Amino acid sequence: MEDPEEIQRSAPRRVDLVDAGGGVLACLADVHGNTAALDAVLASDDFARADAVAFLGCTTTGPDPRGVLERCANLTMPVFYLAGNGERWVLNIVSGIRQPERELDEWLIAAHGDDGLATIGSWPGGLSVAHPPSGGVRLCHGSPRSDIELLTTLTGDDRLREATAGVDEAVVVHGHTHVQYRRDAVGKVIAGAGSVGLPYAAGPGARWALISDQVQLMVTPYDLNQAEALIAATGYPGDAYLKTLRQPPSPEAKTADAEKLVFSN
């Protein structure tokens, strides 16, 4: 488990109130700079059903930070953002709270550029979404109380109540675990949107969610060779990234691991 100071740092800086109206809300978590996967989602017939989109953190931390931000800026619908532990990690290095630990840390700072760093620095830690068809949605990265908490299908009701204390919304959607699921628990719908860029799943494809009067879990296929070409073109130094894309851990294994860790960067 993470140390208490790290857990304290991972609490959302602020929760912004936003209005998604009565339409369909797309939730995209953990894009991790994978514009090949993001392009496939944005071009899909499923995404065409969305009236608004929310990005649930760890959006830019991967091979193509600026490419992701450019695509987001070009969307012609309401777009909402929150910061995950990936964005917080980068910003903490820039501010001097942390020191770079890997070549990847310095690469990510340079790849965001000053404008990109300013953009992710403006994002809140959570979103409270007015959305009448669902009864309201709380969007977070790890959980409503921490961007590094790991919620899963096996998380007990006691911890879920603690993690969602003070949350009035009927639906809670999170990222961080990279595992896609939906469950009814503690009087709410709890859903992991999965990961667009690095899903832990049995088969290939970007994972995300659509919310109307219910939560629908979506899978969008795309060519992994495009992601491999992206990594080569950008010079991204994260060797484990492509290996995870090609040979992801099983959702069962990651769920069991998450329940042992509870909190993890």
The whole-number pLDDT of residue 3 equals 67
Residue 246 confidence (pLDDT): 92
Helix (H, G, I), strand (E, B) or coil at 92: helix
Which one is the CATH code of 4-261: 3.60.15.10, 3.40.50.2300, 3.60.21.10, 3.40.50.300? 3.60.21.10
- Find out whether 259 and 155 touch, Cβ atoms under 8 Å: yes
Mean pLDDT of the chain: 95
The burial of 101, by beta-carbon neighbours within 10 Å (0-12 exposed, 13-18 middle, 19 or more buried), is given as exposed
Of the listed ranges 5-19, 55-69, 231-245, the one predicted with least confidence: 5-19
Structure confidence at residue 258 as a pLDDT band (50, 70, 90): very high
Hey, where are the domains in the chain? 4-261
Q: How far apart are CA 61 and CA 34, in angstroms?
A: 9
Q: Indicate if the pLDDT at residue 184 is higher than 80.
A: yes
Give tens-digit pLDDT for 8-55.
778 877 999 999 999 999 999 999 999 999 999 999 999 999 999 999
| String of DSSP letters for 135-191 | T-EEE-SSBTTBTTB---TT--HHHHHHHTTT---SEEEE-SS--EEEEEETTEEEE
The identity of residue 141, as a single letter, is: H
Is pLDDT of 171 > 70?
yes
- Res 2: pLDDT: 60
- The pLDDT score that the predictor gives to residue 37 is 97
Residue pair 149/8 in contact by the 8 Å Cβ criterion: no
CA–CA dist 41, 50 (Å, integer): 11
DSSP characters for 50-78? Answer: -SEEEE-S--SSSS-HHHHHHHHHT-SS-
